[in-house]
Amino acid sequence: MAVSVTSRALDLLGAFDTGHRRLTLSAMARRAGLPLATAHRLAGELHRWGALDRAASGEYVIGRRLWDLGLLAPVQSGLRHAASPFLHDLYAATLATVHLAVRDDAEVLYVDRLAGHVSVPVVSEAGTRLPMHATGVGKVLLAYAPENVVVRVLAGLTRVTPYTVTEPARLLTQLRRVWAEGYATTGEEMSLGACSVAVPVRGPGGSVVAALGIVVPDLRRGRARLVAALQVAASGIGRTLSCTSSVQ
Amino acid sequence: MAVSVTSRALDLLGAFDTGHRRLTLSAMARRAGLPLATAHRLAGELHRWGALDRAASGEYVIGRRLWDLGLLAPVQSGLRHAASPFLHDLYAATLATVHLAVRDDAEVLYVDRLAGHVSVPVVSEAGTRLPMHATGVGKVLLAYAPENVVVRVLAGLTRVTPYTVTEPARLLTQLRRVWAEGYATTGEEMSLGACSVAVPVRGPGGSVVAALGIVVPDLRRGRARLVAALQVAASGIGRTLSCTSSVQ
DNA sequence: CGGCCCCTTCCGGTCAGCGGAAGGCAAGTA
DNA sequence: TACTTGCCTTCCGCTGACCGGAAGGGGCCG
C-alpha cells in the first residue's frame, strides 16, 4: 500500500466531502486512517500553504487556495463558461432548477446548477456526484457512454426511491429511447416530488460532452415545451464550444 | 526553507494559475523550482490520486478531484448558495454582468460572476483576484475593511487604466462616500469601456461580509435604478444568510 | 544523421517523516 | 473538589521513504 507522505496528505484532504465540510483534527485523522500525531503535522503543513483553513471553532475546512485552484480545472473553464449564459436563458424561460453535468467514470458529476428561490427538493449542487441510473442527465450521459461503463452501471442499480429503475432491461429500453427521441426523463426516481428532463450537449466533433437537464415538480404537462427549450440551449452551448475549442 | 515533501507537492500545484492552466512536466518543475526527476515523481503521485489530470497532449491540468474539493470551501458553500437566486434576479432585471466578491486580505476575490451573452469587457471570473482600488466591489469592501488593510492598499495604488484612482486622498474621499451613500462606483478604472456600481452585503451580525456589483458600459443614466436593484438583492442575500447562519 | 527537448526509470546514501508516549486544556459527570 | 472523556499539541530517536544526478528512450526539426 501507499505510505508516501504525499498520498497521506492527500488522503487527509480526501476526508472532506459534501457531508463533511468541517472536521476536527481527530475526525480527519480517523477518516483518513492516520495516527493523530501524523495528521496533526500534515494538517499544519496544509494549513500553512492555504489548502486548509481553520474555522473560528478550530475545526478545519477546505482553504481558499484550494478553491481557486479547483476553479482552474478544465471541467469548468471550458464547458461551464460556454454554458453559463444559456443556463440563465433556460432558467428565465422555465423557472425550473437547471443542471449541467458530465460523466465521471460511472457517475454523474454536476458541473453547474442554477436554482430559483422556490424549488422542488433537489439534492444536487455543483461538485456533487450521483448515480447515473436515477437522474435525467445521468441517463443521457449513460446512453452515449462506452459499453463497459454501461455494463458496470447496469450491474449496480441501487434503489433510491420506490420509483428508481432497478431492472437492467427496463433501463436499457430507456437508453434506447434516449437515442431515438433525443431526451431522457425521470419521475421521482432520485427524490420524491422531483421529475426531470435532460438532453445531450454535443461538442465540436459531434460527440456528447455533457448533459443539460431541468427539474420540475410534474411532467404531465408542458413536456414538449421543456424539451424544445432544452434543445435550443444545448445546441447553443455546442456552438459556443466549437468557437472556443482552440482553448479546449 | 521548507523542504518537506508535502510543501513541494503543494508548490507543484501552485505552479498553476489563471494564466497557466495546462503545464508540461518540465514547466511545472521550472515554475515550482524543483528538479525534473522530483517533479516527475510527485506529479505522478498527484495524478494517481486525481489532483492532476493529463490532457490529451500529455500536459498536466488540475484534476476533477481537486475541483470538487475546492467547491467544499466555505467561501462558496454558504455565501454563494444564499446569493445565487438573487444574482439571477439581478441579472434578469438589469441584463448586466453581475459580480459577487469578498475581501481576501488586501485583494478582491471574485466568488461568483454571472455574465450574459453580450457583455462589456470584463476581466473577472470566479476565483479571480483583483486590486481593491480599481473595482466597484473592491471599494465597497475596502470601505469596511480594518484600518491596516486600508493603509496597505493606499500605499500601493497601481495604475491600470488612465482613469484608475492613484492618489490616496482621492480614494479616501470615495471611501467616505461609500459610507455616506451606501454604494461605490467606478468609471473605466479597471478596463476601458466598463463602469460599475457596487453595494455591501451584510451578514447576520450586520457586518459587511461581501460585495455585490454590476458592470455596465455607461453610468450616466439609470444609476439610481441600478443602486436600488442592487440594494434589494443585497438585503435579500443578507436575510438568507441569517436564516442559514447555523451552518455558517 | 545529429541536435534538441521532453519524458521516464534507476538506485544507494541520508535526512525527513514517523508515531508512541506524555502533557495540557475544556466540558461534562458525580 | 476529583474523576472521566474528548480534544489538541509537543517531543524525540529510529528507520525507510525521498532525493536527484545520471542514463536511456521517444518525437520533432533542419
pLDDT in tens, B111-145: 888 876 665 556 667 778 899 999 999 999 999 99
From the list A6, A67, A128, which residue is nearest B45 (CB)?
Answer: A6
Question: Terminal CA-to-CA distance of chain A, rounded, Å?
Answer: 36
Q: Please, which pLDDT band fits residue B35 given cuts at 50, 70 and 90?
A: confident
SS3 at position B163: coil
**Predicted pLDDT of residue A199:** 97
Is the pLDDT at B1 greater than 60, yes or no?
Answer: no
- Antiparallel, parallel or unpaired: β B208-216 and A60-62: unpaired
A80 lies in the same domain as A150:
yes
Is the pLDDT at A39 greater than 50, yes or no?
Answer: yes
B174 lies in the same domain as B237:
yes
> Chain B: nearest CA to A50, how far in angstroms?
10
- A62 and B69 within 8 Å at the Cβ level: the answer is yes
CA distances from B30 to B6, B9, B34, B39 (A): 18, 13, 6, 9
CA B214, CA A169: separation in Å to the nearest integer? 51
Cell representation of residue B27 = 514547466
Lowest mean pLDDT among A202-206, B181-185, B240-244: B240-244
Domain contains B248: no
Nearest chain B alpha carbon to A57: B248
Question: Given 3-state DSSP classes, what are the helix, strand and coil percentages for chain A, each rounded to the nearest 5?
Answer: 45, 20, 35
CA B226, CA A33: separation in Å to the nearest integer? 53
B150 lies in the same domain as B117:
yes
Domain contains A222: yes
Nearest chain A alpha carbon to B88: A88
> Chain A: nearest CA to B167, how far in angstroms?
31
Mutate to test the interface with B, among A3, A40, A69 (most CBs of B within 10 A): A69
Q: Is the CB of A10 under 7 A from strand D?
A: no
pLDDT in tens, A186-195: 999 998 988 9
Region B71-77 average pLDDT = 77
Q: Is the CB of A40 under 7 A from strand C?
A: no
Nearest chain B alpha carbon to A67: B70
The total domain count for chain A is 2
Q: How many CB atoms lie within 10 A of CB B46?
A: 25
A36 lies in the same domain as A109:
no
> Chain A: nearest CA to B24, how far in angstroms?
15
Region A204-216 average pLDDT = 90
Q: Is the CB of A65 under 7 A from strand C?
A: no
CA A160, CA A134: separation in Å to the nearest integer? 8
Of B69, B95, B119, the residue at which a domain comes to its end is B69
CATH of the domain at A56: 1.10.10.10
**Predicted pLDDT of residue A126:** 78
C-alpha B231, offset from chain centre = 20
A142 lies in the same domain as A155:
yes
CA A115, CA A80: separation in Å to the nearest integer? 16
Q: Is the CB of B45 under 7 A from strand C?
A: no
Cell representation of residue B167 = 492618489
B49 lies in the same domain as B111:
no
Q: Name the nt closest to A9 by C-alpha to C1'.
A: C17
B159 lies in the same domain as B124:
yes
CA distances from A74 to A66, B55, B78 (A): 15, 9, 24
Q: How many CB atoms lie within 10 A of CB B216?
A: 19
pLDDT in tens, B2-12: 578 888 889 88
B204 lies in the same domain as B104:
yes
CA A31, CA A112: separation in Å to the nearest integer? 28
From the list A5, A70, A126, which residue is nearest B69 (CB)?
Answer: A70
Residue linked to cell 442499480: A157
**Predicted pLDDT of residue A85:** 85
**Predicted pLDDT of residue B121:** 58
Residue A41, domain extent: 5-69
Residue A45 CB contacts under 8 Å (≥ 6 apart), including other chains: A9, B4, B6, B7, B10
CA distances from A85 to A20, B81, B88, B144 (A): 32, 19, 11, 32
**Predicted pLDDT of residue A121:** 58
- H-helix segments, chain B: 5-14, 25-32, 36-49, 64-70, 74-94, 136-143, 147-154, 168-181, 223-243
Q: The complex's ipTM?
A: 0.79
Region B170-186 average pLDDT = 96
Domain contains B218: yes
Q: Is the CB of B173 under 7 A from strand C?
A: no
Chain B residues near residue A66 by CB distance under 8 angstroms = 66, 69-70, 73
CATH of the domain at B160: 3.30.450.40
Bridge partners (DSSP) of residue B184 are B198
Q: Which amino acid is at B79?
A: L
